[in-house]
Chain A
Amino acid sequence: MKIRKNLGGLDRILRGGIGIVMIYFGIIDSSVVTDEFSKILLTIMGSAMSFIAIIAHCPMYAVIGFDTCSTESGEPNNT
Chain B
Amino acid sequence: MDGLQGMNLRNQLLTYFGIVILTAVSIYGWSAYQIAYDVGNNQKNILLSNRLQEQAGLLAQVKLDRDNIKNIEKALYSPASEDLKEYMLSSIIADSKGNILVPENQLSLPNAGLRTYRLDHLVTGKTTQGAIVLEEQTYLWMKAAIPGTENVLLYIFRGKDDHTFSNLASRIIVVSIFILWVSVWVALILATKVTNALRAKSDEIEHQASHDSLTGLPNRLWLSKKLENEIKHASVSNKHIALMLIDMNRFKQINNTLGHEAGDELLKEVSKSLQSCLWKSDSIVRMGGDEFALLMPITNEDHCFIALDKILDIMDEPVIIDGIPLEIDISLGMAVYPKHAEDATNLIRCAEVAMYLAKERGAQYTIYDINNDPHSIKQLRLSGELRQAAKLDQLSLHYQPKMNIHSNEITGVEALLRWTHPQHGNIPPDEFIPIAEQTGSIASLTYWVLHTAIEQCASWHNNGLDIDISVNLSARMLHDFEMPNRIMAILEKHGLPASKLELEITETAIIMEPDKALSILKRLHDVGIQLSIDDFGTGYTSIAYLKRLPARYIKIDKSFVLEMHSDRESATIVQTIIDLSHSMGIEVIAEGVEDRETLAELVSLGCDTIQGYYLSRPMPIEQFETWLSQDQARVQTGPPFTVSKKVISLNT
Contacts and interface: CB of A to CB of B under 8 A. Distances in A.
Interface of A: 32-35, 37-38, 41-42, 45, 60, 63-66, 77-79
B189 interface: yes
Given A34-B163, A45-B181, A77-B14, A64 B174 contact: no
Given A77-B14, A79-B181, A35 B188 contact: no
B162 interface: yes
A78 B18 contact: yes
Contact of B191 (A33, A45, A64): A64
B171 A38 contact: yes
A41 B185 contact: no
Given A32-B166, A33-B174, A64-B188, 18 more contacts: A33-B170, A35-B166, A35-B167, A35-B171, A38-B175, A41-B175, A41-B178, A42-B174, A45-B177, A60-B185, A60-B189, A63-B192, A64-B189, A64-B191, A66-B188, A78-B184, A78-B185, A79-B184
Interface residues of B, number: 21
Contact of A63 (B171, B184, B189): B189
Given A35-B171, A38-B171, A38-B174, A60 B163 contact: no
A6 B173 CA distance: 29
B164 to A, nearest CB: 9
Given A64-B191, A78-B188, A79-B181, A41 B174 contact: yes
A33 B163 CA distance: 10
Contacts of A65: 192
Contact of B170 (A35, A60, A63, A64): A35
Contacts of A64: 10, 188-189, 191-192
Contacts of A79: 181, 184
Nearest to B7: A65
Nearest to B185: A60
Contacts of B173: 33, 38
Nearest to A42: B174
Interface in B166-199: 166-167, 170-171, 173-175, 177-178, 181, 184-185, 188-189, 191-192
A38 B174 CA distance: 6
A44 B177 CA distance: 12
A64 to B, nearest CB: 4
Contacts of B10: 64
Contacts of B170: 32-35, 38
A45 B166 CA distance: 20
A3 to B, nearest CB: 19
Kindly list the 10 A-B residue pairs having the minimum CB-CB distance in the complex, ordered from nearest: A35-B167, A38-B174, A33-B170, A64-B192, A34-B166, A38-B171, A78-B184, A64-B188, A38-B170, A60-B185
A45 B178 contact: yes
A12 B173 CA distance: 24
Contacts of B184: 78-79
Nearest to A65: B192
Contacts of B167: 34-35, 38
Most chain B CB inside 10 Å of its own CB: which residue of A38, A41, A42, A65: A38
B427 to A, nearest CB: 64
A60 B192 CA distance: 11
18 contacts: A32-B170, A33-B173, A33-B174, A34-B167, A35-B170, A35-B171, A37-B171, A38-B167, A38-B171, A42-B174, A60-B189, A63-B188, A64-B10, A64-B189, A64-B191, A64-B192, A78-B14, A79-B181
Interface in B187-235: 188-189, 191-192
Contacts of A34: 162-163, 166-167, 170
B182 to A, nearest CB: 10
Interface in B240-277: none
Contacts of A32: 166, 170
A37 B168 CA distance: 11
B199 to A, nearest CB: 11
A18 to B, nearest CB: 10
A77 B14 CA distance: 9
A62 B538 CA distance: 72
Contacts of A42: 174, 177
A34 B169 CA distance: 9
Contacts of A45: 177-178, 181
A7 to B, nearest CB: 15
Interface in B135-173: 162-163, 166-167, 170-171, 173
Nearest to B191: A64
Contacts of B14: 77-78
A37 B174 CA distance: 9
B231 to A, nearest CB: 32
Nearest to A26: B174
Contacts of B192: 63-65
Most chain A CB inside 10 Å of its own CB: which residue of B170, B173, B188: B170
A52 to B, nearest CB: 12
A20 to B, nearest CB: 15
Contacts of A35: 166-167, 170-171
A72 to B, nearest CB: 18
B32 to A, nearest CB: 13
Nearest to B189: A63
Most chain A CB inside 10 Å of its own CB: which residue of B163, B178, B188: B188
B645 to A, nearest CB: 98
Most chain A CB inside 10 Å of its own CB: which residue of B163, B167, B174: B174
Interface string B1-19: 0000000001000100010
